[in-house]
Each structure stands twice: as structure tokens, then as C-alpha cells.
Amino acid sequence: MESLEVSFQLILHSGNARSHAMEAITFAKKRNFTEAHKSLEESGKELTEAHNVQTTLLQAEASGAPPNLSILLVHAQDHLMNSITVKDLAGEMVELYSTIEPLRKEDLNSDGN
């Protein structure tokens, strides 16, 4: 796989992963935890695809054929790192929203008494 193609594949899958992670937060804010978890799962699948692409770079370098290091490839790696961070934080936010939801319901029920 050419360095240019690898770069665009990394950007594609990383961008998709980030979008799914942000979608998970939106679902959690709307208290739709089933969809939030599905979005996190989709984010994880996209990150796996990105990692698979990245592995081709590592294997090429290990076999003595390092990729052409370009600004685009650096940019693609930055996208991947950012997407991993966003997915991790989205997972934490979904967990927080789901933890808070029963407390919110309890508070709403106690206000009615």
C-alpha cells in the first residue's frame, strides 16, 4: 500500500471513529444508552481498521522498506491519536451519564412527593 493511500485510509477510519464516538455522547445526553453503546462499538471497529492500516506501515518498516514520511502521514497519525482519545473520553461520558440517570430519576420522583 502506498504511503498516500495509507494516509488517507488512516484519516478515513480515524474520522469515522471520532464521529461515532461523538454520536455516542449525543445519544447518552438523550438517555439512549443502547444506541450510545452501539456507537462506541462502531467507533471501536473503525479504530481497529485504522490500526490494521497502521500495522502495514510498521511491518513495511520492520522489513526494511520504511514508508515515505510526509506531512500528510504525520497528519493522519495525529487524526488517529485524536480519535483514540475522543473514543476513550466518550466511553467515560457514556458511563457517567448512565450512572447519573438513575439518580436523576430518583430525584424527580422525590420532588413529586
The set of catalytic residues is 75
Q: Answer positive or negative: Cα dihedral of 3, 86, 47, 39.
A: negative
Cell of 102: 438513575
Q: Which of 59, 43, 45 is nearest to 6 (CA)?
A: 59
Phi, psi dihedrals of residue 64, rounded to the nearest 5°: 90, 10
**CB 87, CB 43: distance < 8 Å:** yes
Residues 6 and 14: their CA atoms lie apart, in Å, by: 12
Residues 37 and 50: their CA atoms lie apart, in Å, by: 20
